[in-house]
Amino acid sequence: MQELAGHAIDAAVAAGAGYADSRVVTRRAQLVATKNGEVDSVSDSETEGIGVRVLVDGAWGFAGDPRLTEEGARDAALRAVAFARASASRARVRVELAPIAPASGDYAAPVERDPVDVPLEEKIALCLRAEEGMRRPEVKITEATVRAMREQRVFRSSEGARVTQSFVECGGGIDALAVSDDGRVQNRSYPSAHGGSSGQTGWEFVEGLGLDREAPRVGEEAAALLTADPCPSGTKTLVIDAEQMVLQVHESVGHPTELDRVYGTEAAYAGTSFLKPGDLGSLRYGSEHMSVTADPTTPLGLGSFGWDDEGAPARRQPVVEGGVLTGFLASRETSALIGRDLGGSMRADSWSRMPLVRMTNLHLEPGAGSVEDLIADVDDGLYLCTNKSWSIDDKRLNFQFGTQVAWEIKKGKLGKLVRDPTYMGVTPEFWGRLDAVAGPEEWTMFGLTNCGKGQPGQHAHVSHGTSPARFRDVQVGVRQ
């Protein structure tokens, strides 16, 4: 694979590229899904190919080819150069890259038991067992999924970078859908909605999720939601669980701090950001309780690596410290624009896509105390758990998020279950209302595989570690 990557670099440079990098990727992934006690899908997929990125006269070009042959590598390189040259003649700006030392070395995810090699029978049995635990008369649909993936990625550049990385991921989740006789529908999920949670490690991660252990509670809560009262509207104090905080961090901190969005280059689809380059070091993002860190060195994180997809080394970088914006997620190109070395967040979802500025592992740093301590200091509020719906504007300011379930909090105690909670906010105002984050003992990391961005679209795998957090005076419910 290193040799093929080298062929592509040589061909690109010989054709006139001022800079070239290539990624050779092979990936195998499995998905097992069961539903209502039967296997819904057992699938196994493989993909491989080479992606070549070049700069010709300061203009980008990228091409991918599925053939892992010298011919495939050379064709990808020449097509990338031709596309860059076609663009370069009309380019208004010349792309500059912040300098980095050429990367060299290997990286491998820590794995006890390769999840792809775990027998499919074992995966199916786990799913069926977990499903069984969710069954109740009101629960009409039970689902369980587990996934496994391993990927080999080689990176080379015309600057001399030469890296080989091995990634292994697995994860799973369960869902219960309850339907009442009069057609009302409610659902509960564990450990996270929208496909569960994944980690970059071996099958031991899935075993540790305890899908079958949590299943009875998930089924009971889905059934109970059918007869729960609707969530009251009004201005409330919210305690938000770690899983929903993941979504909150992802949407209202992760995306707006992507420096390509800040510079506007994602405006047409994903959107821009309310942040400006000059806000670095001065903008108050939230209260003093808010600290957020990008850390691609976090063990088990889906965004962990040795080097990103342009050869920048993994390093922990603060994004928000004590409520003040102190970092951005960046590439070499955007680092050059801002004049600061902030790179290390360039990732592509496959060999056939160009790397983009992406989240890696973005964490809300823990505070102190337990979730019970957060609840104890609430006179009238809600405890919100597990994402159900989400939407946020193109500048990442105005959001509306919904959770699967909430419990009322009255005088420091959890009260009755309520259904269909939603809350709204404006990003810096909302984070300004943060008055407590639970401690390290409550800090949990979740891995998501569905973060969309780019044209053509790409799905990033990212992780977020969070603790439950408390926000004062938040608008709950929406006007209908």
Partner 1 sequence: MSRALDLAERAVKAAEGDEADVSVHVESSGFARFAASAVHQPTLIRDEAVTLRVVRDGRVGCATTNRTDDEGLAEAARHAAEAADSSPVDPGFAGLQELAEVPEAEGYDEATAALTPEDQAEAAAAAIAAAPDLGLYGYYTSGVTELAVASTTGQAVSQTMTDVSVLTLAASDDSSGYAEATSWRASDLDPAAVAREAAVKAAQTHGATSVQPQTFRAVLEPYAISELLFYFAFTSLNALALLEGRSYLSGRLGEKLFDESFTLWDDGLDARSYPKAFDLEAVPKQRVLMIEKGIARDVVWDRRTAKQAGEGRVSTGHALAPPAQAFGPIPFNLAMSAGDAASVDELAERVGDGIYVTRLHYLGVVDPREGIITGMTRDGTFRIEGGKVTTPVVNLRFTTSFPALAAGLLGLTEEVTLVNRSDFYDERYPFGTLVPAVATDAFTIVGTGSGPGL
Q: Which of residues 382-401 bind partner 1 (CB under 8 A)?
A: 388-395, 397-398, 400
Name the minimum Å distance from CB 422 to partner 1.
7
82, 336, 338, 417: which one contacts partner 1 (CB under 8 A)? Answer: 82
Q: Which of 79, 153, 156, 363 binds partner 1 (CB under 8 A)?
A: 79
Cα gap 134→177, rounded to integer Å:
10
Q: How far apart are CA 246 and CA 249, in angstroms?
A: 5
Residues within window 154-193 making contact with partner 1, judged by CB under 8 A: 177, 179, 183-185
Residue 420 region, left (φ>0) first, then alpha (ψ -120 to 50), else beta? Answer: left
Smallest separation, CB 450 to partner 1 (Å): 10
For residue 29, the surrounding DSSP H or E stretch is strand 19-35
Residue from the set 59, 168, 170, 319 that interacts with partner 1 by CB under 8 A: 59
As measured in angstroms, the least distance from the Cβ of 440 to partner 1 is 32
Looking at beta carbons only, is 228 or 368 nearer to partner 1?
Answer: 228
Q: Is the peptide bond before 191 cis (omega within 30 degrees of 0)?
A: yes
Q: Count the Cβ atoms, other than its own, within 10 Å of residue 121.
A: 9
> Which residues are CB-neighbours of 42 under 8 A, at least 6 positions away?
30, 31, 32, 33, 120, 124
Q: What angle do CA 174, 453, 343 make, to 5 degrees?
A: 110
Nearer to partner 1, 80 or 438 (CB): 80
Site string for partner 1, 279-318 (x = CB under 8 A): ----------------------------------------
Q: Which of residues 90-149 bind partner 1 (CB under 8 A)?
A: 90-93, 119-121, 124, 140-141
Give min distance, CB of 392 to partner 1, in A: 6
Using CB under 8 A, which residues numbered 192 to 221 contact partner 1? none
Gyration radius of the chain over CA positions: 23
Beta-carbon contacts of residue 362 (< 8 Å; ≥ 6 apart): 249, 250, 253, 254, 292, 293, 294, 295, 303, 319, 329, 462, 463, 464
State which residue, 287 or 398, has the beta carbon closest to partner 1.
Answer: 398
Choose, by CB under 8 A, the member of 105, 110, 440, 452 that binds partner 1: 452
- 473's enclosing H/E stretch is strand 469-476
Residue 235 as a binder of partner 1 (CB under 8 A): the answer is no
